[in-house]
Amino acid sequence: MPIHVDKAKGRFHLQGKAMSLILERGELPDGTHPLLMTYYGARLEADEVPGTPLGAKDLASFDTANAVLPFAAPGERCGDFRPAMIGAQTASGRYATRLSLCGHETRQGKEPLPGLPATYVEAPDEAETIAFALEDALTGLRVRLSYTLFAQVDAVAVSVRAENAGEEPMWLTRCMSVAISLQGQYDALHLHGAWAKERQVERIGPMHGERAIRSARGASGHQHNPFMALLSRDATEHTGDAYGISLVYSGDFCITADQDAYGQTRAVCGLNPDTFRWKLEPGEAFQTPEAVLAYSPDGLNGMSQIYHRLYRTRLCRGPWRDRERPVLINNWEATYFGFDHEKILRIAKAAAELGVELFVLDDGWFGRRDNDDCSLGDWVEDRRKLPRGLKGLAEDVQALGLRFGLWFEPEMISPDSDLCRAHPDWVLHAPGRFATQARNQWILDMGRPEVQDHVIEAVSRVLRSAPISYVKWDMNRNFAETGADWLPADRQGEVAHRYMLGVYRVMEAVTGAFPDVLFESCSGGGGRFDPGMLYYMPQTWTSDDTDAGERMKIQYGTSVVYPASAMGAHVSAVPNHQIGRVTSMRVRGEVAMSGNFGYELDLSRQTPEDLDVIREQIARVKQIRRVTQQGVFTRLLSPFEGNVCAWQFALDDTVVLFAFVTAQKANPELCRVRMRGVPAGRWRDEDDGRVYDASVLERAGLPFIVPGGERLGDYTGMVRVLRRAD
Ligand code: DGJ
């Protein structure tokens, strides 16, 4: 995993297992030395990369040099008209930003980012870091741009620390985390969506100009995930160059890929400059979130596997990172707000008899919340519904052999709440403007330290009051008007990022104080499914859409970046509450088994036939969940491209194949699903006892046959568990 430094030539080679990233000290006609990214791609055995075809004479002309050089830290308003990464303006009006390299240092390991989520190492030899010092002599802006190369996976974590080393205040007008430069044209692949249809895969061809995704919602959002892949035009799931750019952040972000007239592509990624402007007094510094680059010569799937491994093992933290996740039952779709102690116990009892391990009480347990129009902020149990309080209920649930979990929405405030009556000033709002409500609620200004302290105490008090071993942390609306009358006028551009820093501080405090509690983040389903959240909470509720067919797409899309251990996946009732589709209990379970499995329906009201299926499902989940939660995940057939979709998990002596038909047709193609990356040797199908050689599984494939011969109808599936037979 070495980082080779050639000081004399000013060349730095980050050489991974199958990738190389080369940075060089350049020279501009004014004598400054920009840092250039002269190569990023498949591994090179040497670091001499020919420069641009332009001669020294061309590069001596400022406008040509600015237009073509592959700057690794491109500044604003300095003649490079491609997307910039960094810009600053000083109090006296100095604006243009040109950074010149003035030093570097390398070290084993990786430093944490104070107050921010980030990937980490557990031993210094797991990574090597090189940090470049760059300076803009005119404005006094000093930048530390650091790249960490991991030993086990071809991922590079990049972030920026910007410091005001001048004598007057300055404002960062943008401060993004990374810029990459590639030669040639690339397709862009990203994950778009909306509520209940998150992370749909879209691949778009190259264009001259910018392809950009962003959020200004105060959350990463349902609409765009903080991720983009650049793919060589010939790249597929399993072949070709795939470059991933993923931001470890949960708020406003922007990722832009720009193709210039010279056949070069630059991508920048970081905090959304539209909602960002940060004041630095002399001596102050600003740290950006971290962007994680992943390169694979083995297509999109190769790139995904890099993210899965890194994020599962070196982004997620805590004892639950490596523990098998419990089978849960959540009462939301079973009862919505209409429950009491007895009704909950009835569902919990049925669940316990079936083998469920955790009961989660969702929204509606606090204040006087019979609807979504009140009580957020009043985190005190509603004794009308729970006469013996949370403690009484949790103890009764525990007596059934289940653990007890609880829903919160800590960042929110209902206009009709005691909290709002006591602290109307804590509502995030733009002074003087109407404050828009969404789902009848406002947002707390989490940037304010007293609000953070209040939320930490309010949540902790409840967690101390009863035996609670799981928390679902929801966030059901996005920003509208934003401002902060507690901040001066020249710091209003800091509100969105201060909100996120506040949320992170609260999450760090609460999860740190209750390390054995399993936390799951949520945002109206998967509206904040991002690497930032995974640092605090090792799993996220993937989507409010639990229809089996829609979930195939949502989970498939989510797997482009995120490991299955991060995805909450539940079986819900039919007709499905979001789209009205009816699918079998069997297929709903088969789809949910590819994530952290649970139920979201009234288990005390199922038919005897469905109860048999449920019992079988739970037994199977317990048998295979180590593989699905910790194994290597491989996408095989895409639900976005055909009517069959398939994926597999592999760990040690087990491979599990999932395959589904979506829309059925008459005389369907005779489909055999070819598996991938099955370790050499013989494998026994646990259901029918047949033994296959790995080469057969990979090259011929297994026929798509639904157990019991049930082949007709939309949305049918098969699960094959193969165990090593030699
Ligand atoms: C949105 C979540 O995604 C749902 O699962 C549920 O918890 C509701 N909020 C409760 O209000």
Ligand 1 atom at minimum distance from 362 CA: 7
Cβ neighbours, 10 Å, residue 57 = 8
Q: In what order do the strands lie in the sheet with 654-661?
A: 632-637, 644-651, 654-661, 716-724, 682-685, 691-693
Q: Tokens 């791609």, residue?
A: 41
Please check whether residue 154 is in contact with residue 16, taking contact to mean a CB–CB distance below 8 angstroms.
yes
In this structure, what token pair is assigned to residue 511?
A: 């999860």
Q: What's the Cα-to-Cα distance from 327 to each of 357, 562, 589, rounded to whole Å?
A: 5, 20, 12
Distance 474 CA to ligand 1 centre (A): 7
pLDDT at 663: 86
pLDDT at 317: 98
pLDDT at 49: 86
Question: 589 exposed, middle or buried (CB, 10 Å; 0-12, 13-18, 19+)?
Answer: buried
pLDDT reading at 464 higher than 80: yes
pLDDT at 710: 55
Ligand 1 atom at minimum distance from 372 CA: 11
Share of the chain above pLDDT 70, in %: 98
Q: If residue 513 lies in a helix (H) or strand (E), which one and from where to where? A: helix 495-513
**Helix/strand/coil for 209:** strand
The dihedral formed by the CA atoms of 558, 564, 566 and 567, expressed in degrees to the nearest 10: 60
The distance of Cα 414 from the centroid of its chain, to the nearest Å, equals: 28
pLDDT in tens, 162-212: 999 999 999 999 999 999 999 999 999 999 999 999 999 999 999 999 999
Q: What's the Cα-to-Cα distance from 416 to each of 338, 378, 440, 625, rounded to whole Å?
A: 19, 10, 9, 43
378 labeled binding residue? no
Question: What average pLDDT does range 145-161 have in this prediction?
Answer: 98
pLDDT at 700: 96
pLDDT at 706: 63
Cα 515 from Cα 272, distance rounded (Å): 32
Question: 609 exposed, middle or buried (CB, 10 Å; 0-12, 13-18, 19+)?
Answer: exposed
Distance 195 CA to ligand 1 centre (A): 11
**Helix/strand/coil for 555:** helix
Q: If residue 35 lies in a helix (H) or strand (E), which one and from where to where? A: strand 35-42
pLDDT in tens, 638-668: 999 988 999 999 999 999 999 999 888 777 7
pLDDT at 67: 87
pLDDT in tens, 345-399: 999 999 999 999 999 999 999 999 999 999 999 999 999 999 999 999 999 999 9
Phi and psi dihedrals of 333, rounded to 5? -75, -15
pLDDT in tens, 87-139: 999 999 998 899 999 999 999 999 999 999 999 999 999 999 999 999 999 99
**Of residues 382, 474, 547, 610, which has the active-site annotation?**
474
pLDDT band at 592; cut points 50, 70, 90? very high
Mean pLDDT of the residues in the chain: 96
pLDDT in tens, 536-556: 999 999 999 999 999 999 999
Q: Tokens 């980490």, residue?
A: 120
pLDDT reading at 59 higher than 80: no
Looking at residue 567, the DSSP 8-state letter turns out to be E
Question: CA gyration radius for the chain?
Answer: 26
In this structure, the residues whose C-beta lies within 6 A of any atom of ligand 1 are 332, 362-363, 407, 474, 476, 522, 524-525, 541, 544
Cα 554 from Cα 542, distance rounded (Å): 8
Scanning 651-721, the segments in alpha helix (DSSP H) are 694-695
- Catalytic-residue membership of 474: yes
Higher pLDDT, 212 or 49: 212
pLDDT at 709: 56
Share of the chain above pLDDT 90, in %: 92
Cα 120 from Cα 117, distance rounded (Å): 9
Question: What average pLDDT does range 521-529 have in this prediction?
Answer: 98
- Catalytic-residue membership of 544: yes
Please check whether residue 93 is in contact with residue 82, taking contact to mean a CB–CB distance below 8 angstroms.
no
pLDDT at 33: 96
DSSP for 249-293? -SSSEEEEEEE-TTSEEEEEEEE-GGG--EEE-TT-EEEPPEEEE
**Of residues 416, 445, 530, 544, which has the active-site annotation?**
544
